[in-house]
Amino acid sequence: MALNALPWWQSGVIYQIYPRSFQDSNGDGIGDLRGILSRLAYLRWLGVDAIWISPFYPSPMADFGYDVRDYTDVDPIFGDLATFDELVQQAHQHGMHVIIDFVINHTSDRHPWFLDARASRQAPRRQWYIWADARPDGSAPNNWVSLFGGSAWEWDGETGQYYLHSFDPKQPDLNWRNPEVQTAMFDVLRFWLDHGVDGFRIDAAHMIMKDPQLRDNPPNLAGVEVMPKPMGGDYETQLHLYDKDHPDGHAIYAAIRRLLDSYGTEQPRIALGEIHILDWQAWASYYGADLDEIHMPFNLSLLSLPWQAHTIRQAIAALEAVLVPGAWPNNVLGNHDEPRIVSRVGPAQARIAMMLLLTLRGTPTLYYGDEIGMHDGLIPPERVVDPIEKNKPGLGLGRDPERTPMQWDASPHAGFCSPATEPWLPLPDDYPSSNVEVERADPRSLLNLTQRLLALRSSTPALTSGSYQPVEGLPADCFAYLRQSGEQRYLIALNFADREQVLSREEKGQGRIVLSTGLDREETVHLASFHLHPNEGCIIEMIEPAPLDSAELNNDLSAGPM
Ligand code: NOJ
């Protein structure tokens, strides 16, 4: 399939920018939109096709922008609407699309809608939020717990009812069953679509509808996992049957899809969904029964799985297995909520992770700074700002470490903000040797590997749109797969261990290594006995013999245990 046969969101690579941390332009130690504008040329050089910008809306910043006070403006910390328009225009000029966050489930408690709602029980917008009476003993209406810790209900003394907050008490949940809320929020989408955005990343997309009867969640007696990663506190003690993933949410996403589609199919506007659901079938339901809901529910599984070849292979198999024809996969290795990939797997395996992310079938989302190997920052207790860490200290759940400022160069504060300003989060000590400037000059850096992977991906139909076929029977620490488009066949072989692996079997076939994570091998290899160096990944263009079908190829490449 020719590259241009795919829409931009399938052929491209998305780069997530956490705007507070990318580039400060006005000397307050917090990144902003003009800062992003000043770095578009870098992103173009890197080779990404779209940027997703986390929230920049007016906000009291109780959850750093995921508590929105006004959905249709820009917080002065980040700039103004005119700067946003300039950003969209320039990104488009650079050939990049712009995706923004849509915080669908909750507003800030300072949003005028909520200020009105809590003014009295008769207030016009009272029913825009989820209110319930106390139980006879005065306790919360049910046993639901907040992802940020404690009960999901907050008592409002003035009006004598509890309101629901799935996250922080300063983030009251909207009542999506109310058509007025739907109208108001659809107006928000229209506002940004009319400002030229190409898509939305929908925050906590699986949480918008809850059980209308507000039934108690049952206890998690079997101790099964309820989230991809432990959330601490009470969250694991319940099965979350009633507080999320209610089927009524699907009608909302179908309506959002219709709205997006109404903006034309030439340059489709898209929805990405943050869906934290472990069950693959339930997760895949957010594509819509007729692929008429969210274009890509984020595949967040790789963020928390143990870094082992067979675990990753199984996750990709599970993903591929639930995709109905036409459903497009995607992969994420880092975001603003999870530990950084380098801190999870180490610098050597981070190169394997990058090759994996950029060669799997489906759209990759790359988190800012992962391309230079940024690791989790050490945040001294007095600098902690994340509400999760404050509410559940010491459990390692805090998200400040993965949100430290982008490391651009060796100057004070890594070129993120002026030397005279203290950045909002501290930079790690090693930034003088680990930054964009240093790594651009080092041909063997992770940055240059990433840039070359992106270039290869975008110029190679097999990697962009080709089929995916895992290779079976490899040594335990290896994961290999074939990407094929027409005559073009590429084998990606990844060594998850720090010792050499041999893929060997009596068979035919020759390939040419087009890129190794070591960046030092461009040779013709015989697949009968192919040596992968410790911690090495290779992209091999198959050159001989004539294309086999996948089944035959799988047999050919099967290797006995070493
Ligand atoms: C998910 C976002 O990614 C996270 O950063 C935020 O705290 C919660 N949703 C609440 O909006």
Dihedral angle over CA of 70, 77, 407, 64, nearest 10: -40
Q: What is the mean pLDDT of residues 285-301?
A: 97
Give the pLDDT band of residue 34 (cuts 50, 70, 90).
very high
Dihedral angle over CA of 459, 462, 463, 465, nearest 10: 100
Cβ–ligand 1 contact at 167 (below 6 Å): yes
Dihedral angle over CA of 4, 8, 14, 16, nearest 10: 160
Contact between 550 and 484 (Cβ < 8 Å): yes
pLDDT at 518: 93
The structure tokens listed for 241 are 């049957």
Contact between 398 and 384 (Cβ < 8 Å): yes
Best probe residue, ligand 1, of 16, 17, 21, 66 (max atoms within 8 Å of C-beta)? 66
Quote the CA–CA distance of 518 and 531 in Å, as a whole number: 13
**Catalytic position from the list 75, 203, 245, 338:** 203
Residue of minimum CA distance from atom 6 in ligand 1: 66
Quote the CA–CA distance of 492 and 480 in Å, as a whole number: 5
Residues 6+ apart with CB under 8 A from 279: none
Quote the CA–CA distance of 283 and 286 in Å, as a whole number: 6
Residue with tokens 């963020």: 303
Give the pLDDT band of residue 225 (cuts 50, 70, 90).
confident
Give the pLDDT band of residue 557 (cuts 50, 70, 90).
very low
pLDDT at 183: 98
Cβ–ligand 1 contact at 203 (below 6 Å): yes
For residue 558, pLDDT over 60 is answered with no
What percentage of the chain carries pLDDT values higher than 70?
Answer: 95
Cβ–ligand 1 contact at 272 (below 6 Å): no
Residue of minimum CA distance from atom 2 in ligand 1: 203
Residues 6+ apart with CB under 8 A from 137: none
The structure tokens listed for 234 are 């009470």
pLDDT digits (tens, 9 = 90+) for 173-188: 999 999 999 999 999 9
Residue of minimum CA distance from atom 10 in ligand 1: 66
Quote the CA–CA distance of 303 and 228 in Å, as a whole number: 8
Q: Tell me how far the alpha carbon of residue 103 lies from the centroid of ligand 1, in angstroms.
A: 8
The DSSP secondary-structure symbol of 325 reads T
pLDDT at 230: 76
Phi, psi of 40 (to 5 degrees): -60, -35
Quote the CA–CA distance of 296 and 333 in Å, as a whole number: 15
Look up 274 and say whether it is catalytic: yes
For residue 516, pLDDT over 70 is answered with yes
Give the pLDDT band of residue 505 (cuts 50, 70, 90).
low
Best probe residue, ligand 1, of 64, 111, 167 (max atoms within 8 Å of C-beta)? 167
- Cα of first residue to Cα of last residue in the chain, in angstroms, is 37
pLDDT at 261: 98
What percentage of the chain carries pLDDT values higher than 90?
Answer: 88
Q: Tell me how far the alpha carbon of residue 75 lies from the centroid of ligand 1, in angstroms.
A: 18
Contact between 416 and 406 (Cβ < 8 Å): yes
C-alpha 416: how far from chain center = 23
The DSSP-derived string for 442-457 is -TTSHHHHHHHHHHHH
pLDDT at 503: 87
Cβ–ligand 1 contact at 400 (below 6 Å): no
The structure tokens listed for 351 are 């190169």
Quote the CA–CA distance of 109 and 65 in Å, as a whole number: 12
Give the pLDDT band of residue 504 (cuts 50, 70, 90).
confident
pLDDT digits (tens, 9 = 90+) for 294-336: 999 999 999 999 999 999 999 999 999 999 999 999 999 999 9
pLDDT at 4: 52
For residue 561, pLDDT over 60 is answered with no
pLDDT digits (tens, 9 = 90+) for 92-121: 999 999 999 999 999 999 999 999 999 999
127-131, 177-181, 541-545: which has the minimum mean pLDDT? 541-545
pLDDT at 309: 98
Quote the CA–CA distance of 323 and 363 in Å, as a whole number: 14
pTM: 0.95
Quote the CA–CA distance of 214 and 133 in Å, as a whole number: 11
For residue 550, pLDDT over 50 is answered with no
Diameter over CA atoms, the chain = 79
Cβ–ligand 1 contact at 66 (below 6 Å): yes
